[in-house]
Amino acid sequence: MSATYVDTSCLLSVALTERGWAAVEQRLNAFTDLFASNLLEVEFRAACARERVPPDTRLLTRVRWVLPTRPLTEEIATVLATGRFLRGADAWHVACALYLVRAGAALAAGLLAGTGLALVAGFSLGNYGKEAMDYFSPGEVAASDWLYRTAPPGAEVVAATSNFPWAFVHYNWYSYTFLGETAPYISQVPRSPVSTVIGVLKPGRSPASYLVLTKSQAAEVQLSGIWPAGTYSRIVHDLMASGRFRVVYSNADAQILQLRPAKVARQSPVPARHCVRGRGCR
């Protein structure tokens, strides 16, 4: 027997026939048991409803739910201690996988005798290449930390997608626009990136506006197919080459931009008027 832990993205790749889904399904079929947190079911069904695709319950019936009998405080602490910034749902899946590993080791002489839990391979499978998207580097976390220390209340935060460390503090202070997730920007940005982003960051809409560009956003665009291959890089290039934006924060994994003030055309000086008493001015 062989078993693995899967996360929601794995089953969705098959249900939505995303790129590489056949290879994922083949690997899934190689395991006799699939384990997952029951959080997977609501994430799976919600994503199918959003995409207006009937949920493939055949995939769900194969899953054996991990239902912890105690708080996973220790496992969560272990996950967070790795230094990787994971969103809550992703951290919970990893914590459940760790819980399963520890439970499996404890029960190896009893109910789970002879069962090999290939969890390390399984977690890689469950993300089927999404680790670049789900993992936020220290550089990305540092950029977000700078943003939330700098941006005044009421500021507008704009990004290509929501796949970066956002709203982990002051969650009700700011408004957010995610260009690759919001109509009509999804179609407008690839066609006219500079003018569209200028419109979103237009002064007067908020006390300050910031455009956040990160490595994990690029990974999500590539893996999800929001825009055609190469579009994200072209958009970033066009924005930087336009001269309309200034970099206010930068490291190897993230850049934060603001709109430069529009140049005001210089007016020709008005010639001085010469007046002579009794003759008027000229």
pLDDT digits (tens, 9 = 90+) for 191-228: 999 999 999 998 777 899 999 999 989 988 887 788 99
Whether the per-residue pLDDT at 256 is higher than 50: the answer is yes
Q: For position 202, what pLDDT does the model report?
A: 82
- Residue ranges making up the domain that contains 68: 2-131
Answer whether residue 86 is part of any domain.
Answer: yes
Domain co-membership, 122 together with 81: yes
CA 180 to mean position of chain CA atoms: 11
Answer whether residue 64 is part of any domain.
Answer: yes
Q: For position 138, what pLDDT does the model report?
A: 82
Answer whether residue 217 is part of any domain.
Answer: yes
Q: For position 118, what pLDDT does the model report?
A: 36
- Indicate the pTM of the whole model: 0.55
Domain co-membership, 109 together with 10: yes
Number of independent structural domains in the chain: 2
Tell me the pLDDT band of 80, cut-offs 50, 70 and 90: confident
Domain co-membership, 124 together with 141: no
Domain co-membership, 111 together with 7: yes
Whether the per-residue pLDDT at 133 is higher than 70: the answer is no
Answer whether residue 277 is part of any domain.
Answer: no
* CATH (domain of 116): 3.40.50
